[in-house]
Amino acid sequence: MVYLIVESLVMVGWNNTLTDPSMAEQAEISLDFVEAESEAREDSQAQPDSTESEKPSPPRQTVVAPPGPHDDIDLIDTDDDFEIMAISDKIASNRQEVAAAIGSHEQNIATSADTLPQPNVSSLQPLKLTNLRSIPNLPYKQNWSVNVLCVVSAISDVEPAGIPPYTQRQARLTDPSTDKHVLLTVFLDPHLFNPQVGSIVLLSGVKNHRFDGGSLKKYASDRPKSGENWWYDDPAQFTWCDVEGLRRWWAETGQT
């Protein structure tokens, strides 16, 4: 017999299901429903009806829901555990109309957000930071939110995207924990995400993804509340961010 003693727990990210009480209640309701269905199935198996048992069972049908806005089909590689289903022209047309309406609505929100007063950055509470090496090994393989302090090693121009708002900007991130340059895809106001190569940036609330062996994404639907920033360029004003240490490490790599 083996005992495991846990002295302390450190949270390295979060998922909306665990933080939103309404979503947690829905999860509990779903669990109760599954348990009720399981008990009903066991009762029916314990008392089989001879007449019904002789009837052939109808073939089971599997209903596959269309991918959601975060499925990001265009960016999925062949090694991922994703399946792509054929969609009829009518469904595709309806989805395009809905997506266009959503994109227009989000553009209006972005325009309004640009005019909001920015908060006092010195009031930002210390965040638990996750190193890039941990991205593929988070509790959830997808949509687990983390905060990252890293160096931008490459960045693209604003380019077309396959999900709302149909534009994106991609960057490569690095830190001393790994040799890999982790891919970051920004869908939230990509034209406003414009750090220079070699910049030290603080990213808050970015979500992990399976693509590219472990990557990060900032979706348009994850816009921070009250107009606060979700990324900071050269966040030396936060004493809990080792900006100077990261800058020295980047200089030592000879990539400046």
In a domain? residue 143: yes
The answer to whether residue 35 sits within a structural domain is: no
Query: Does residue 171 lie within any of the structural domains?
Result: yes
| CB 182, CB 228: distance < 8 Å | no
Spatial CB neighbours of 17, under 8 Å, sequence gap ≥ 6: 23, 24, 27
Tens digit of each residue's pLDDT, the chain (256 residues): 777 787 766 667 777 766 655 555 554 444 454 455 555 555 555 554 444 445 555 555 544 444 444 544 444 444 443 333 444 555 555 556 645 554 554 454 444 444 333 334 445 789 999 999 999 999 999 999 999 999 999 999 999 999 999 999 999 999 999 999 999 999 999 999 999 999 999 999 999 999 999 999 999 999 988 778 999 999 999 999 999 999 999 999 877 5
Is 86 a member of any domain?
no
How far, in Å, CA of 29 to CA of 125, rounded?
35
Count up the domains in the chain and report the number. Answer: 1
CATH of the domain at 172: 2.40.50.140
Does 189 map to a domain? Answer: yes
**Long-range Cβ contact pairs of 241-245 (< 8 A, separation 24 or more):** 241/129, 241/149, 241/200, 241/202, 242/149, 243/149, 243/200
Q: Could you tell me if residue 198 is inside a domain?
A: yes
Residue 240: domain span: 121-252
Q: Is residue 256 within 8 Å of residue 151, measured between CB atoms?
A: no
Q: Is residue 240 in some structural domain?
A: yes
